[in-house]
């Protein structure tokens, strides 16, 4: 902690112009090996999105002359701590963590620091610890874009709109940031009496089957409603499955996030209304570049900070894009994230 504060203070003139300079010393010198070794501790590889992140991260790190050791915890907090311990024992030069539980992984950061290893939190914040760097998308804006889409759609026709909200996992700090962004837009509409929240719940571990249960409960409780504000594509898929069973798919607006192939196919088919495209290739690439710099003990410029409950973590936020059927080709396909043939099937 003292080392990082000193470096930031020494670099304060640069910080005024360009942001915070992040650096941490370590017991292990990268020069001792021919290639830096980066540990990548992942929450899960069950979702298509995370498989892509892993592959892009490794590819970019390899291009930069580094090797990556990857372990997946299968959404098990105890296993993720053990994974981190294994990576520390392996002698990694830097650690990148995609936490299942942002609070539980504070212990992992502490263990890494005891070994002199810097830690980058990837896409999900690790709270309550002296984290070195956080890299993600503007997650509050994600929620705002989802809610703005619904607000614009609601404005087309008169009358109070009935809304179901499916939040993400309570163990993921991002789920609260998405909700914060959604609340920024939906809250005033509820206060004006233009929108009624007829049912809401949190989808444990972001599992589609849990989102389906929430949607089923909403149908039973509320009967009819106008939209489901689902926080990602996985929960959107689960909710849509419930709508399909009731003959309501395509009649209810459904939001999403991540621009997964299945979600984009649902958008083309009309079952899902929108998704949020987060240029994951850019996130994985920039995170790999930062991880290599951390491994080599080189400074990193971060233009933002985010309070994690213990420190203000130097942070890098990337932009996000709202995607509908109208701009699929200009966004996810033009970027090469998905192939047109995979989305617009004959």
pLDDT in tens, 17-55: 335 555 555 444 444 678 999 999 999 998 888 999 999
CA distances from 156 to 144, 187, 309 (A): 19, 19, 41
Between the alpha carbon of residue 218 and those of residues 143, 190, 254, the distances in Å are 21, 18, 14
Q: How many CB atoms lie within 10 A of CB 2?
A: 6
Tokens of 11: 């670099």
Q: Where are the domains of the chain?
A: 2-131+280-318, 139-278+322-343
DSSP track, 112-158 = HHHTT--EEEESSPPPSS--SEEEEE-HHHHHHHHHHHHHHHHTTS-
- Give the percent of the chain with pLDDT over 70: 90
User: Quick one: pLDDT band at residue 256, thresholds 50, 70, 90?
Assistant: very high
Please state the separation of Cα 250 from the chain's center in Å.
27
| Assigned token pair, 33 | 């090996």
pTM of the predicted structure, to 2 decimals: 0.76
pLDDT at residue number 40: 98
Instruction: Using the predicted structure, report yes or no on whether residue 238 has a pLDDT greater than 50.
Output: yes
pLDDT of residue 71: 97
Nearest-10 Cα torsion for 79, 178, 163, 264: -80
Residue 244 tokens read as 């399909």
> What would the CATH number be for the domain defined by 139-278+322-343?
3.40.50.2300
Q: Is the domain covering 2-131+280-318 a CATH 3.30.479.30 domain?
A: no
Q: Which CA distances in Å does 198 have to 175, 192, 274, 302? A: 20, 16, 21, 41
Structure tokens, 170: 């309570």
pLDDT value, residue 345: 74
Tens of pLDDT, residue by residue over 4-26, are 332 332 233 223 333 555 555 54
> Is pLDDT above 80 for 85?
yes
Task: For residue 248, give the nearest of 222, 209, 277, 210 by alpha carbon.
Answer: 222
Q: Spell out the residues 6+ positions from residue 144 whose beta carbon is closer than 8 angstroms to its own.
A: 181, 182, 184, 185
């Amino acid at each position: 902690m003292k080392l990082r504060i000193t470096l930031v203070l020494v670099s304060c003139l640069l910080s005024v112009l360009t942001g915070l300079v992040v650096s941490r010393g370590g017991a292990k010198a990268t020069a001792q090996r021919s290639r830096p070794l980066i540990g990548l501790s992942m929450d899960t590889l069950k979702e298509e999105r995370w498989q892509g992140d892993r592959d892009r991260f490794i590819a970019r790190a390899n291009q930069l002359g580094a090797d990556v050791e990857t372990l997946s915890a299968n959404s098990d907090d105890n296993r993720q701590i053990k994974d981190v311990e294994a990576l520390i024992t392996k002698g990694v030069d830097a650690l990148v963590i995609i936490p299942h539980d942002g609070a539980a992984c504070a212990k992992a950061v502490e263990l890494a620091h005891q070994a002199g290893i810097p830690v980058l939190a990837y896409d999900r914040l690790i709270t309550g610890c002296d984290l070195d760097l956080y890299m993600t998308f503007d997650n509050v804006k994600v929620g705002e874009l989802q809610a703005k889409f619904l607000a614009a759609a609601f404005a087309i026709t008169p009358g109070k709109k009935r809304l179901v909200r499916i939040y993400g996992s309570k163990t993921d700090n991002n789920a609260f940031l998405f909700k914060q962004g959604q609340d920024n837009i939906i809250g005033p509409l509820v206060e004006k009496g233009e929108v009624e929240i007829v049912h809401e719940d949190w989808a444990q571990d972001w599992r589609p089957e849990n989102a389906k249960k929430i949607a089923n409960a909403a149908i039973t409780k509320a009967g009819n409603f106008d939209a489901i504000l689902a926080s990602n594509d996985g929960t959107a898929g689960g909710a849509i499955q419930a709508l399909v069973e009731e003959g309501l798919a395509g009649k209810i607006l459904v939001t999403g996030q991540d621009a997964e192939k299945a979600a984009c196919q649902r958008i083309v088919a009309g079952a899902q209304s929108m998704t949020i495209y987060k240029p994951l290739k850019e996130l994985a690439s920039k995170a790999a570049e930062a991880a290599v710099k951390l491994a080599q003990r080189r400074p990193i410029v971060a233009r933002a900070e985010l309070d994690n409950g213990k420190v203000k973590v130097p942070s890098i936020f990337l932009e996000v894009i709202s995607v509908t059927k109208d701009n699929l080709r200009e966004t996810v396909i033009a970027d090469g994230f998905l192939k047109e043939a995979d989305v617009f099937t004959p």
